[in-house]
Amino acid sequence: MKLWSLLRKEYLLTMRRKKFIFMILLLPLLIGVVYQLSTNLQPGVEIKVALCNLDEESVDLVEALKERFSVVEVAGECEAQIKEMIREKEAFLGIIIPRDFTRKLEDLNKSEIYLFYDNSNPVLASYLEFFFQLSLRNYENALLSKAGEGIREEVTKIEGLLEAAKLLVGLVGYGTELMDNLNQIQEMLSKIKRMDVTFITEPVVPVKEGAFELKNEKGIGAAITFSILTLFTALLLVSSSVIWDRERKFLLRLRTSGTPNLTYILSKTLFFDLVLTVQFLVIFPLFSSFSWLELNLVSLLVSILVVTSINTLLGMLIGIFSENQGIAILLSLLLTLPFLFISGIFYPSELFPQPLRFISDVFPLSNEMNLLKESMAFGYSLQELKNLNVNLTYLLLFFLLSWLGLRFRH
């Protein structure tokens, strides 16, 4: 009965705080959309490039660049102009094609091209370089095909000459040794003719195949997004709600009314589990496909429940040990931001140095993410969930700490 009253209180208070509902619904949409956009490498705006072409013959290269970038052509004092444009944010990237660029390539020699970039923004610089390489790929392939074509033409001519020479040797009758040599040369030439010239730039082509059989490929993204989302939401919402309860002296009332701390903790956990599950349903359409139907619903539900409960209890601990809302927000950020970086979202945690990897492994977020991947992407059954036990341990630990915190601090 008391549990029901506490759940009802949480529900009514949440419904009366309109900004809460707004945050609960908007945050998953925002994080989901941002995640989708950030994993799609296509830029969302036109990339302006300042181009100074000193080589009249490099028409194909200019065309290739124009296909991907919005090109602004410059002339005259190119380098100074381009640098100024980048500093003034009029262009993201500057390119100078030198005078003898095409001639060198036609002579089958390496040719330099000059790139100017914003070195105060390394992330942008590396992405622009990536896009530049991408735009160059078709041009390079065309260049190589053309070179291959030229080689084949030359080889055909040599083969003609060789045929004539063989005929002559046969008529004169100089012996078999010379004929054998000519045959060997002919064989080598036909090998050169058959050669794929792209072999020169890309001799090994890796063919990738995942070791895991993913029942739902979109589940990986959903697991990452949902674990970050619940952590942020739970830490901020739950810690605030505990602090409000304390400020309204509700915790004092609970103690004098003989309501067990366990009932209070349970009501918060259950209610915020529900709120966070609603958030899951909000992001679900962003990652939905029919492959969700192949997942094990029981393990999906259990993993969502375990992860949301862990984060709710963590939020509760922050609320219990923070003197006020400001400290609670600082603590929440302290727990989320650094660990977001070491959870393996931005850089694989497997490649971290040992101490950092240890922290990453110990922090709940990485383990939560792994558990959600197992249920959302791999479609494991309850028995197959390898990360369930470690997460259950967190759940018990935080439950115990919350109980002790309430008992001794309030």
Partner 1 sequence: MFFRKEKKVFPLMIKELSGGPRGIIKNMTFKVRKRDIFGIVGLSGSGKTTLLKLILGLVKKRSGKVSFYGRPLWRSKKLIGFCPQGHSFFEELTVRENILLFGSLYGAKSPLEVGRRMLKELEMEEKLDEPASNLSGGQKTRLNVILSLLHEPKLIFMDEPFTGLDYYNRNLLWNFIKKLRRRGCTVILTTHLLDEAQKNCTKLLVLKEGKKFVYGNVEDIKEKVGLDYVYEVKFKSLSKRALKEIIASCKEEGIDVLNVQIDTLLFGVREEKKRAFQRLLRCYEHEIISSRKPNINDLFLKVVSA
Tokens of 59: 């028409």
Distance CA 238, CA 16 (A): 16
Of 74 and 254, nearer to partner 1 (C-beta) is 254
Interface with partner 1, residue 9, by CB under 8 A: yes
Q: Are 315 and 403 in contact (CB under 8 A)?
A: no
Would you count residue 256 as binding partner 1 (CB under 8 A)? yes
Among 65, 143, 222, 254, binds partner 1 (CB under 8 A): 254
Report d(CA 185, CA 190) in Å as an integer: 9
Q: Does 16 bind partner 1 (CB under 8 A)?
A: yes
Rule CB under 8 A: is residue 13 a binding residue for partner 1?
A: yes
**Does 337 sit near partner 1 (CB under 8 A)?**
no
Using the minimum distance from each CB to partner 1, give the nearer residue, 55 or 245. Answer: 245
How many Å apart are CA 218 and CA 393, to the nearest integer?
28
CB of 67 to partner 1, least distance (A): 58
Residue 204 has a CB neighbour count (10 Å cut-off) of 5
Least separation, in Å, of the C-beta of 214 and partner 1?
A: 45
CB of 239 to partner 1, least distance (A): 18
User: Can residue 386 be called a binding residue for partner 1 (CB under 8 A)?
Assistant: no
Q: Does 249 bind partner 1 (CB under 8 A)?
A: yes
Q: How far is the CB of 44 from partner 1 (least distance, A)?
A: 40
Residue with Cβ nearer partner 1 (17 or 104):
17
CA 113 to chain centre: 30
Sign for the pseudo-dihedral over CA of 372, 375, 379, 385: positive
Judge contact between 222 and 283, C-beta under 8 A: yes
Supply angle C-alpha 299, 220, 392, rounded to 5.
40
What are the CA-CA distances from residue 157 to residues 66, 146, 181, 182, 193 (Å)?
A: 37, 17, 18, 15, 11
Nearest distance in Å: CB 5, partner 1: 4
Contact between 5 and partner 1 per CB under 8 A: yes
Give the H or E element holding residue 71: strand 70-73
Indicate whether 257 belongs to the interface with partner 1 (CB under 8 A): yes
Residue 253 vs 386, nearer CB to partner 1: 253
Q: How far apart are the first and last CA of the chain?
A: 23
What are the CA-CA distances from residue 224 to residues 155, 240, 396 (Å)?
56, 25, 23
The three-class DSSP label of residue 88 is coil
Single out the segment in contact with partner 1 by CB under 8 A; choices: 38-46, 51-59, 65-73, 250-258: 250-258
In the complex, what is the shortest distance from the CB of residue 20 to partner 1, in angstroms, rounded to a whole number?
10
* Nearest to partner 1 of 69, 272 (CB atom): 272
Stretch that binds partner 1, among 86-94, 146-154, 248-256, 311-319 (CB under 8 A): 248-256
- The region of 64-72, 183-191, 251-259, 364-372 touching partner 1 under the rule CB under 8 A is 251-259
Piece of the chain touching partner 1 by CB under 8 A; list 114-122, 176-184, 253-261, 300-308: 253-261
Among 114, 127, 139, 250, binds partner 1 (CB under 8 A): 250
Q: Check if the beta carbon of residue 303 is closer than 8 Å to that of residue 380.
A: no
Length of the chain: 410
Question: What is the amino acid identity at position 330?
Answer: L
Cβ nearer to partner 1, comparing 250 with 352: 250
Instruction: List the one residue from 252, 298, 334, 356 that touches partner 1 (CB under 8 A).
Output: 252
Handedness of CA 286, 290, 292, 297 (dihedral sign): positive
CA distances from 363 to 167, 314, 398 (A): 80, 12, 13
Q: Which stretch binds partner 1 (CB under 8 A): 6-14, 180-188, 299-307, 360-368?
A: 6-14
CB atoms within 10 A of CB 325: 15
Task: Please identify which residue in the block is written with the tokens 């009366």.
Answer: 16
Q: Which range in 57-65, 201-209, 255-263, 365-373 contacts partner 1 by CB under 8 A?
A: 255-263
Determine which residue in the list 81, 141, 259, 277 makes contact with partner 1, applying CB under 8 A.
259
2 part of the interface to partner 1, by CB under 8 A: yes
Binding site for partner 1 (CB under 8 A): 1-2, 4-6, 8-9, 12-13, 16-17, 248-250, 252-259
